[in-house]
Structure 1
Amino acid sequence: MTTLVCCLDRDSTVTTATGLTPPVVGWEAVRSLVTDVGLDDPEATTVNCLLEALRVTRDLNDSGTDAMVAVVSASPAGTTAPDRAVADQIDELAAEYDLTATVVVTGTTDDERLLPVIESRLQVDGVDRVVVRQARDIESTYYLLKQFLADEELRTTVLVPLGISLLLVPALLLWFSPAVALAGLAALLGGAVLYKGLGIDEYVSRLPEVSRELLYSGQVSLVTYVTAAGLMIVGLVSGGIAVTPLPESLAPIVVAAFLHSSSPWLTGAAVTAATGRLLDRWIADEPLPTAMLSLPAGMLAVGIIARGFTGYLLTVEFTVGSVGLSPIQRLAVFVAGGILVSLLGVKLATALATQPADPVSE
């Protein structure tokens, strides 16, 4: 009594790849088919089906059951119907080898359509369905997601802003219109992308260390940086207050009014921060480059010119004593003042940079 381990091949992959006439019977013949079919089409499901049939046959023989392996395959297209061809091969095997039962190994849903044909001729003790564990696209996606989730920095950069956005969706839709909610989410995601893209996270991560060094070293720049931060906040608030009564439809005028009101404070913040850095280097008796010495004057000049252009856009009249200046005259005065301040700053920086620093007498 022999149990047949039957590998079904309804789409005639075996006969097309090898040119053999089915059925193919025996361990060595089927194992040779694995190489031939695999070389013809490495991605064919039939390769896995053949290997599974060999494994089942080995396990049955090891357990004391007399088992033989065979592959039944439909004839090439144009001969007989696939089901009829497989039925003839099963009849041939049953008559030649005195078969009593079979274990059917299938690789596709199409192969399982042959099960009624097998059951009508032999007792089917089991059906082994071979399922490829990971298809190529699924496998690539799986490992890509696994690698993505394993990268802590990438996970924090992408998943955290996305999770916060999803959590805010219900609240924004509850309190605001869909347009406002969408704009808020877009602004949040855009800020997260710029935060990472511009490297702001690196500056923020170094901020505690830099602050600790400034605090323990007693540098003047610590005080000037805090002062600059306060001036910047005041400038932003001042600009916001200035544009509050303006209509939103006049976007250029709103921007000009904001810059016109905040530019003196922002300029003072920049000059204060740059001056503090200069004082630190001067106290430490470090060399003072010309570019660093001229930086406060350059920032002051930029602030003056920006104030002049924004005032011109707002067409604000300016009075010096009893002399009234038109907007274009006022702009010319500010531009000339900015250029003069810049030239004086460069001249002073060049003079200080070329002269050796005198020792500070106690």
Structure 2
Amino acid sequence: MTTLVVCIDRNSPVADEYPVVGRHAVESMITETGVEDPEDSRVNCLLEGLRVAADLEASGDDPVVAVVGGGSDAVGSDRKIAAQTESIVAEYEPDSAVVVVDSAEDERLVPIVESRVRVDAVDRVVVRQARDIESTYYLLKQFLADEELRKTVLVPIGLAMLAFPLLLIVLDSTTIAVGAIAAAFGVFLIYKGLGIDAYLSRLPSQTREALYSGQVSLVTYVVAAGLSVVGMFAGALEISPIDSSSPFLLANRFLFESVPWLTAAALAASLGRLLDELLEREGVRSAYVNLPFGAVAVGLVVRGFSAYFLERASVFGPFRVPPMDFGVVEINGFAMEAGTRLALFILAGILISLVGVRVAAYVSKTDIEGELVE
């Protein structure tokens, strides 16, 4: 089987010498080219062509080594290469071809050879010292061909470059402009990294399905969102008149006021999801049963810790138990210490969690040991 091993040199300074056919002619060309310019990458391309021909000959093929090339004119160069390829194919009548190139520009001419003879392989020669440069070019080429990557990377960079001079004009401060752009990039990375864009794209269809199917959770989610906003607003109102230089105390004051509302929001959302699960299935998974208890337990523990820190910082006084009379038993009023109060909150959270595990085990018909292991 005759195989044509053709080396392409599109922008050759010696275009009139092409085509060069035959092993000895190519070896002479390698010597001349290497002596004239040792740094020319064509030398490596021609040597690779000889190596491929030697491998094909060792495997039993009848290789024909050839070099085709053009000049500086793009259209004229491509037409010369096409004519040279046709003359070689007409003379030697190869069954297939192996194309050897040393650049992306030369590789673009592979279809010209492929239209004249079947191309079995394309061998791209990369000089070892320039491998990173060549690889970078191909990575950039692949990157620019990917529409999703272009939108994700190039669009934000373009917007940042447009926004930077506008922010400089409006804010008249390089530091603030750079900080604003960095913050915008951070929000974008979090938005993409957490998959918020994918969630928002699915949200309309999920909402539509929930409306059509009459899911209870749709209403409870709206209630939970409203309670969360109320909780945030209550916490913000509580810390706004406080003049404190301690962010830790401000955060605890915010949590102390907002946690009951946030816990109610989590409880409403989890109960709605539990009701949907009960309506859609014959049974219910234990995780949905345990979720409301877990929300209440976490809320109690967080409020207990925030109250402990605020009491120790003297933001408000200790909790006082009022006097109570149960007939046989009478309790005098007393002040509860901060540590004791925190311990009661933690104990209540643990007890509620255990009750949730037990209820979940009863509903799902499993033993409590199995629930604790899960």
TM value normalised by structure 2: 0.58
2:200 counterpart (196, 199, 204)? 204
* Aligned with residue 339 of structure 1, among 350, 355, 363: 350
Equivalent in the alignment of 2:229: 233
C-alpha contact 2:34 2:43 (8 A) present in aligned 1: no
| Other structure's SS at 1:324 match | strand
Q: Structure 1 CA distance, aligned partners of 2:232 and 2:192?
A: 24
Is 2:176 the counterpart of 1:175? no
Mapped pair 1:266 → 2:262: yes
Question: Is the contact made by 1:27 and 1:54 (CA closer than 8 Å) also made in structure 2?
Answer: no
- Aligned partners of 1:220 and 1:230: how far apart in 2? 16
SS of residue in 2 equivalent to 1:235: helix
Shift of 1:215: 0.7
Question: Is 1:349 matched up with 2:360?
Answer: yes
1:258-306 Cα deviation digits (max 9, x unpaired): 2222222221121111110110121224321222211110111001100
Distance (whole Å) between structure 2 residues aligned to residue 37 and residue 249 of structure 1: 80
1:151 aligns with 2:146: yes
Q: How does 1:100-119 map to 2 (within 5 A)?
A: none
Which residue identity does 2:155 align to in structure 1?
V
Contact 1:37 1:47 (8 Å CA) reproduced = no
Change (3 A) 1:42 1:261: farther
In the alignment, residue 225 of structure 1 is paired with which amino acid?
Y
**Aligned partners of 1:298, 1:204: CA distance in 2, in Å?**
27
| 8 Å CA contact 2:231, 2:262 repeated in 1 | yes
Q: Tell me if the contact between 1:301 and 1:339 (Cα under 8 Å) persists in the aligned partners.
A: yes
Following superposition, the deviation at residue 247 of structure 1 comes to 5.3
1:203-352 equivalent positions in 2, closer than 5 A: 203-246=199-242, 249-315=245-311, 316=316, 317-321=318-322, 322-352=333-363
* Deviations 1:319-358, CA, capped at 9 Å, x for gaps: 3435432322221221122122222222222223339xxx
Question: Matched residues, percent identical?
Answer: 47
- In structure 2, do the counterparts of structure 1 residues 171 and 256 end up closer, same or farther at CA, with 3 Å as the change threshold? farther
2:158 corresponds in structure 1 to 163
Offset of residue 204 of structure 1? 1.8
Instruction: Give the whole-Å Cα distance in 2 for the aligned partners of 1:223 and 1:42.
Output: 77
Q: Offset at 1:171?
A: 4.6
Cα distance, 1:53 vs. partner?
A: 11
Separation in 2, partners of 1:33, 1:246 = 89
Does residue 189 (structure 1) correspond to residue 172 (structure 2)? The answer is no
Within 2, Cα distance between the matches of 1:166 and 1:285? 53
Q: Secondary structure at the match of 1:288?
A: coil
| Counterpart-to-counterpart distance in 1, 2:257 and 2:140 | 50
Counterpart-to-counterpart distance in 2, 1:263 and 1:336: 18
- Give the greater-gyration-radius structure (CA): 1
Higher deviation after alignment, 175-184 or 272-281? 175-184
Name the count of aligned residue pairs: 255
SS in 1 for 2:320: strand
Q: How big is the shift at 1:30? A: 6.6
TM-score (norm 1): 0.59
Per-residue CA deviation, residues 198-242 of structure 1 (Å, 9 max, x unaligned), is 222222221111111101100101101111112222222333333
Call closer, same or farther: CA 1:284–1:34 in 2, change over 3 Å.
Answer: same
Q: Does structure 2 retain, via aligned residues, the 8 Å contact 1:162–1:189?
A: no
Q: CA 1:270/1:167 → structure 2, altered by over 3 Å: closer, same or farther?
A: farther
| Matched letter for residue 352 of structure 1 | V
Q: Is the 8 A contact 1:31 1:54 kept in 2?
A: no
Does the 8 Å CA contact 1:293/1:349 hold for their aligned counterparts? yes
Using the alignment, how far apart are the partners of 1:226 and 1:54 within structure 2? 71
State whether residues 221 and 272 of structure 2, in contact with CA within 8 Å, keep that contact through their aligned partners in structure 1: yes
Pair 208,354 (structure 1): closer, same or farther in 2 beyond 3 Å: same
In the alignment, structure 1 segments of 5+ residues that lack a partner are 1-5, 8-25, 60-134, 356-362
Q: Which residue does 1:66 correspond to in 2? A: none
Tell me, in whole angstroms, the C-alpha distance in 2 between the residues paired with 1:307 and 1:252: 14
